[in-house]
């Protein structure tokens, strides 16, 4: 049975208090009340919190009764201590705009080339996350879009300027609630140039630039996933995603992950948290 960090720290603190009580004599003043604290920070108790995920199918949990595709978010919770709960609200097929506004995004474009959004009211998933039952101070929000956003047709189409605006909106509303956002560039599909895996996604530069503008940490999962594919020597391949190393990693396409592949991508995200010194890393196992 696993014991959470909070439980361990409380037990240690209780033992210290008990020892102090034994050595106190009647002539001594009564010891001050003993406070159980998390020794990861001075006088700060370890409090459970949530990590919220917003994204597309490469992040989402698999559909009921289906093993593939599995997004990396479905493999993320196991990487954290028991004080952390991962809430995966990623949904397959969504751009950042359809994730936020869902059926309110129309199939027509306005004069700027953006899909019409009317009314501009949030879909229930984001509205709930912003409610009193949703994200709270101390939580984290990890956002990864940019794969479906490049669709030329509405409702999924999102221009680069609009994409950055919506990323910024999500970060601002999270921060207003004491929630710490992290942007993630879109994970790469497997595309080979000879024996080398190469990048193949848009919205990478825009994600990085908006993170810098909003002072939000950015994990460049696009670059890191390409590096992973090369380390695993997934190129060259014959395009048959039902066999070999590439078949074990991907579903029967070049984009979506088997559970094993999703687990490897989740580990890449966790490694980035550590290497970049992002505070959430302190709660990784």
* pLDDT tens-place values along the chain, 285 residues long: 444 444 444 444 444 444 444 433 333 444 444 433 333 444 444 689 999 999 999 999 999 888 899 999 999 999 999 999 999 999 999 999 999 999 999 999 999 999 999 999 999 999 999 999 999 999 999 999 999 999 999 999 999 999 999 999 999 999 999 999 999 999 999 999 999 999 999 999 999 999 999 999 999 999 999 999 999 999 999 989 999 999 999 999 999 999 999 999 999 999 999 999 999 999 999
Neighbours of 124 (CB within 10 A): 10
C-alpha distances out from residue 81 to 163, 170, 270, Å: 33, 26, 13
Please return the burial class of 254, using the count of CB atoms within 10 Å of its CB with bins 0-12, 13-18 and 19+. Answer: middle
Q: Please state, in angstroms and rounded to a whole number, the distance separating the CA atoms of residues 219 and 269.
A: 7
Summarised one tens digit per residue, pLDDT across range 27-43 is 344 444 443 333 344 44
Domain boundaries 48-279, corresponding CATH code = 3.40.50.1110
Cα–Cα dist 238/229, whole Å:
15
Domain with CATH 3.40.50.1110 in the chain: 48-279
Return the sign of the alpha-carbon dihedral for residues 256, 258, 264, 266: positive
Q: pLDDT digits over 115-158, tens only?
A: 999 999 999 999 999 999 999 999 999 999 999 999 999 999 99
Distance of CA 140 to the CA centre of its chain: 8
57/277 Cα distance (integer angstroms): 27
Which ranges constitute the DSSP H helices of the chain?
5-23, 96-101, 124-129, 160-176, 204-214, 221-231, 244-249, 259-275
Contact assessment for residue 185 and residue 223, using Cβ atoms and an 8 Å cutoff: yes
Q: Are 251 and 214 in contact (CB under 8 A)?
A: no
């Amino acid at each position: 049975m696993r014991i959470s960090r909070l439980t361990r720290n409380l037990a240690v603190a209780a033992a210290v208090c008990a020892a102090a009580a034994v050595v106190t004599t009647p002539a001594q003043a009564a010891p001050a009340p003993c406070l159980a604290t998390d020794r990861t920070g001075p006088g700060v108790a370890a409090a459970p919190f949530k990590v919220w995920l917003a994204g597309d199918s490469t992040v989402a949990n698999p559909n009921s009764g289906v093993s593939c595709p599995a997004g990396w978010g479905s493999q993320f919770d196991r990487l954290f201590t028991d004080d952390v709960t991962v809430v995966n609200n990623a949904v397959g097929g969504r751009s950042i705009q359809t994730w936020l506004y869902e059926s309110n995004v129309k199939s027509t474009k306005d004069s700027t080339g953006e899909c019409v959004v009317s009314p501009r009211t949030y879909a229930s998933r984001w509205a709930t996350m912003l409610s009193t039952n949703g994200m709270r101070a101390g939580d984290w929000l990890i956002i990864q879009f940019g794969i479906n956003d490049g669709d030329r047709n509405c409702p999924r189409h999102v221009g680069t300027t609009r994409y950055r605006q919506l990323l910024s909106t999500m970060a601002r509303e999270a921060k207003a609630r004491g929630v710490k956002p992290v942007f993630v560039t879109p994970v790469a599909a497997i595309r080979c140039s000879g024996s080398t895996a190469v990048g193949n996604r848009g919205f990478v530069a825009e994600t990085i630039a908006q993170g810098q503008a909003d002072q939000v940490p950015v994990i460049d999962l696009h670059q890191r996933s390409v590096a992973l594919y090369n380390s695993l020597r997934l190129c060259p391949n014959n395009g048959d995603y039902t066999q070999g190393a590439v078949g074990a990693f991907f579903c029967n396409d070049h984009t979506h992950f088997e559970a094993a592949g999703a687990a490897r991508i989740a580990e890449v995200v966790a490694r980035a948290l550590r290497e970049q010194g992002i505070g959430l890393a302190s709660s990784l196992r």
